[in-house]
């Protein structure tokens, strides 16, 4: 197992390094296996040890089948009709490690791959595929004590309904009934929803593993839907933070504090978010300096020192990004914040972009820094 | 609102009654609305007040698009190309009230409808549609206290992994920390999984509403995956109960009793299941007479008096079925069981078949009978 992982790293480095120069000469190794995100009993899509993905779609009478995944700017991977009447194709190059959303175009219409599980992204349930990462062990399902992920429906007078949140309670929560826990409010990105961090992010498994290794003190994580006023692609200018801020601060936090054994003080409360969830985190932590002490922006922007009115309110700022997302921006912001006297930690995820592998790793780095 | 529901009932009765004679003359009322099971911001599929469903699929270059739903034996509903290049079609007649799985055939391949949410059935994630039922109020999301649905990963030495279960804890569970609760182990049907009862069955909302109305004492519900040895369609003869029985009785029940505030005695433990889950319930309750006191088979077979060795072990048997599934079978079995001195309750769901509306109603009828 260790050997396979080492091999994978070597190939990935090689292949990523040379791709643009000699893509045509790369030999595709025929060790394809079903993606770990497949539906039960489904062989396709498959992935190989180099990070190539291979797709197979049954649609015998179709004229054209195309998968949205593949190399940037080339419109994805065009499948070809195989001898058995199915449509098959392999990405032209290896993909980044980790999780990717995708869809399949059949004769011009956009569908999910019937072989893959579905994950909510881009305001729709998309197909998901997993390119095994060299560091996938930290979010693997292991034989360790597991926390619970609770779906709660909390009353939201401001939106006139009961809203859904997921609450991760760490292992031991059900038995140590005197213990109280700190809470991280953790937001998804644009077009995703409150299922993202547990489903594609494996936040619960990341926490279970960190706790089992004694690397963090157990805490609670809460995810809820942040696009409280629905916005479509391109409609970001219409987004207003107030509806979500009200739901989060005036409705969800009091519900969590009343129904879970939380340490219900500012010092024991953090907020973080990925991408658009980072933008929300920034806005809400600045608007409500008395609610959270730890701030995390995961591929989700920066704070400028002058934006934070009272330095003493902030215990720690975490800024992260994939190495393919211009990380200079967060590194530069961190310098300025440090100069101004803030405690800042940055993290840059190697060889990943604006995708969940960056955010899984970011959570793993962020968790040990919280609630100190 | 009340008027609409009355109208719906009248139409449904009329239309169901006369369908076979004069289907062609039925006037389709143009009051179509998006199905409540649609993905966010999706208008199609739609349903009207008579129970017709209308589909719209974007696949401009396809040659043939067909939806699996429609009238029995006719292969579903064939869509036709509309003026705007989309494919549209309406079921030839009204559908039964409640939830239906379906899929879309595009040029011979089977896909999910991109407009609808997905539900695990037939061993794959299928599309779901909801025909509003005259009695939908009992599983509606209301402004009442809501229980939590907890995803747990419990250790399963017998299968060498951590297995998933969902545990419904009723409203009040988090606050009344001295109170202990009875438990119903409730199984899905063939090709479904542990998500079925909460997602498409709305078991949590049924419970929340019954509790809010004071109709039942709160109890816990547990769902886990019952097809422990994977079987494909037509492979039922290969199904063996032992692997699942071990997971349920030797692994899950001890985990639930250790991690939740349960009344951990046979008298306060029930098992029920729908369809294949009924078969499992029957086999396991007979194999393990010391574990459960209340037995429920929902469209899932019958008990014969001679199959139950020790009558004193059984507190109550519940047998239910849709009116379209030959309910005489359960009524006949109930007579025999009653003659033999068992406490038996039967329930027949009006105008429904082997589908979730039958089982939602069955749970509503079963819940008040348990743990008396």
- Residues B131-144 have a mean pLDDT of 97
Residues of chain A with C-beta less than 8 angstroms from the C-beta of B181: none
Q: Do A154 and B146 touch (CB under 8 A)?
A: yes
Write down the ipTM of this complex. Answer: 0.90
- Residues 135..174 of A with a Cβ closer than 8 Å to B: which? 141-143, 146, 148-155, 161-162, 167, 174
Rounded to an integer, what is the distance from CA B248 to the centroid of its chain? Answer: 20
Q: Are B34 and B46 in contact (CB under 8 A)?
A: yes
Same domain, B48 and B62: yes
How are beta strands B53-57 and A65-67 bridged, if at all? unpaired
Question: How far is the CA of B40 from the CAs of A109, A124, A193, B87, B202, in angstroms?
Answer: 18, 7, 11, 20, 19
Same domain, B330 and B354: yes
pLDDT band per the 50, 70, 90 thresholds, residue B364? very high
Same domain, A124 and A142: no
Question: How far is the CA of A342 from the CAs of A311, A336, B8, B185, B198, in angstroms?
Answer: 7, 9, 63, 52, 46
Instruction: State the residue for tokens 């340490």.
Output: A263
For the stretch B245-261, pLDDT in tens is 999 999 999 999 999 99
Q: Are A88 and A111 in contact (CB under 8 A)?
A: no
pLDDT band per the 50, 70, 90 thresholds, residue B231? low
pLDDT at A179: 97
B58 reaches A (C-beta below 8 A): yes
Instruction: Among B103, B132, B161, identify where a domain stops.
Output: B132
Residues of chain B with C-beta less than 8 angstroms from the C-beta of A152: 146, 148
Same domain, B149 and B89: no
A230 reaches B (C-beta below 8 A): yes
Rounded to an integer, what is the distance from CA B90 to the centroid of its chain? Answer: 25
Number of domains forming the structure of chain B = 2
pLDDT at B96: 95
Same domain, A126 and A144: no
Q: How far apart are CA B193 and CA A103, in angstroms?
A: 24
Phi/psi of residue A249, each to 5°? -80, -40
Which of A231-240, B93-102, B249-258, B325-334 has the weakest average pLDDT? A231-240
pLDDT at B233: 56
The SS3 call for residue B281 is: helix
Same domain, A227 and A348: yes
Half-sphere exposure of residue A310: CA atoms within 13 angstroms, side-chain side: 9
Phi/psi of residue A106, each to 5°? -110, 115
pLDDT at B308: 97
- Residues B42-71 have a mean pLDDT of 94
pLDDT at B31 over 50: yes
Question: Which residue of chain B is at minimal alpha-carbon distance from A261?
Answer: B174
DSSP 8-state symbol, A304: -
Range of the domain at B101: 3-132
How are beta strands A294-298 and A269-274 bridged, if at all? parallel
Q: Do A106 and B62 touch (CB under 8 A)?
A: yes
pLDDT band per the 50, 70, 90 thresholds, residue B104? very high
pLDDT at A1: 35
Instruction: Among B132, B153, B168, identify where a domain stops.
Output: B132
Residues ≥6 apart with Cβ < 8 Å to A167: A149, A150, A152, A220, A221, A222, A256, A260, B148
What are the residue ranges in chain A where pLDDT is below 70?
A: 1-25, 71-74, 229-236
Instruction: Among B109, B132, B155, identify where a domain stops.
Output: B132
Q: How far apart are CA A327 and CA A358, in angstroms?
A: 12
A326 reaches B (C-beta below 8 A): no
Q: How far apart are CA A334 and CA A311, in angstroms?
A: 15
A27 reaches B (C-beta below 8 A): no
Q: Do B106 and A107 touch (CB under 8 A)?
A: yes
Residues ≥6 apart with Cβ < 8 Å to A275: A189, A190, A298, A299, A300, A354
Sheet with B87-90: list strands edge to edge. Answer: B33-34, B46-47, B53-57, B87-90, B80-81
How far apart are the CA of A112 and the nearest CA of chain B, in angstroms? 7
- Residues B119-141 have a mean pLDDT of 96
pLDDT at B72: 56
B15 or B132: which leads in pLDDT: B132
Outline where DSSP puts E strands in chain A: 33-34, 46-47, 53-57, 65-67, 77-78, 80-81, 87-90, 98-102, 104-106, 109-111, 118-121, 124-131, 148-156, 161-169, 183-187, 220-224, 269-274, 294-298, 316-322, 344-349
Same domain, A173 and A232: yes
B64 reaches A (C-beta below 8 A): yes
pLDDT at A236: 67
Is it true that the peptide bond before A27 is cis, omega within 30 degrees of 0?
no
pLDDT at A56: 97
Question: How far is the CA of A246 from the CAs of A160, A226, A239, A284, in angstroms?
Answer: 12, 11, 14, 10
Provide the CATH number for the domain around residue B52. Answer: 2.60.40.10
Same domain, A155 and A302: yes
pLDDT at B87: 97
Same domain, B69 and B168: no
Q: How far apart are CA B46 and CA B30, in angstroms?
A: 11
Provide the CATH number for the domain around residue B171. Answer: 3.40.50.1820
Q: Do B150 and A148 touch (CB under 8 A)?
A: yes
User: Which residue in A272, A178, A185 sits closest to A220, CA to CA?
Assistant: A185
Same domain, B159 and B270: yes
pLDDT band per the 50, 70, 90 thresholds, residue B239? confident
User: Which residue in A166, A149, A148 sits closest to A255, CA to CA?
Assistant: A166
- Residues B20-45 have a mean pLDDT of 83
pLDDT at B341: 97
Instruction: State the residue for tokens 């998500």.
Output: B195
User: Which residue in A284, A270, A298, A196 sits closest to A239, CA to CA?
Assistant: A284
A11 reaches B (C-beta below 8 A): no
User: Which residue in A131, A115, A266 sits closest to A200, CA to CA?
Assistant: A131
Q: Angle at CA A358, nearest 5°, toward A1 and A367?
A: 90
Same domain, B162 and B40: no
Same domain, A244 and A350: yes
């Amino acid at each position: 197992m260790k050997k396979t992982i080492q091999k994978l790293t070597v190939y990935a480095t090689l292949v990523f390094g040379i791709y643009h120069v000699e893509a045509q000469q790369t030999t595709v190794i025929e060790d394809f296996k079903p993606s770990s995100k497949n539906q039960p009993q489904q062989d396709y899509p498959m992935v190989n040890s180099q990070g190539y993905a291979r797709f197979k779609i049954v649609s015998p009478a179709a004229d054209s089948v195309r998968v949205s995944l593949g190399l940037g700017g080339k419109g994805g991977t065009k499948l070809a009709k195989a001898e058995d009447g199915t449509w098959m194709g392999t990405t032209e190059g290896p993909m980044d490690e980790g999780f990717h959303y995708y869809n399949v175009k059949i004769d011009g219409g956009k569908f999910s791959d019937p072989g893959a599980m579905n994950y909510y992204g881009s305001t729709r349930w998309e197909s998901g595929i997993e390119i095994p990462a060299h560091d996938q062990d930290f979010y693997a399902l292991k034989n360790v004590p597991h926390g619970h992920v609770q779906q709660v429906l909390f009353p939201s007078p401001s939106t006139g309904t009961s809203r859904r949140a997921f609450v991760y309670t760490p292992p031991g929560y059900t038995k140590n009934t005197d213990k109280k826990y700190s809470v991280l409010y953790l937001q998804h990105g644009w077009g995703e929803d409150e299922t993202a961090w547990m489903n594609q992010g494996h936040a619960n498994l990341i926490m279970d593993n960190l706790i089992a290794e004694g690397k963090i003190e157990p805490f609670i994580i809460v995810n809820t839907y942040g696009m409280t006023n629905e916005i479509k692609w391109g409609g970001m200018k219409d987004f207003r933070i107030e509806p979500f801020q009200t739901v989060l601060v005036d409705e969800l936090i009091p519900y969590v504090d009343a129904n879970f054994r939380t340490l219900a003080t500012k010092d024991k409360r953090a907020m973080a978010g990925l991408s658009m969830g980072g933008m929300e985190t920034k806005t809400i932590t600045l608007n409500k300096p008395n609610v959270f002490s730890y701030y995390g922006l995961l591929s989700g922007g920066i704070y400028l020192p002058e934006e934070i009115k009272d330095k003493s309110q902030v215990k720690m700022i975490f800024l992260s990004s994939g190495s393919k997302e211009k990380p200079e921006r967060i590194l530069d912001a961190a310098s300025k914040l440090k100069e101004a006297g803030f405690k800042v930690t940055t993290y840059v995820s190697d060889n990943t972009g604006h995708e969940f592998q960056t955010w899984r790793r970011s959570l793993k780095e962020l968790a040990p820094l919280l609630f100190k």
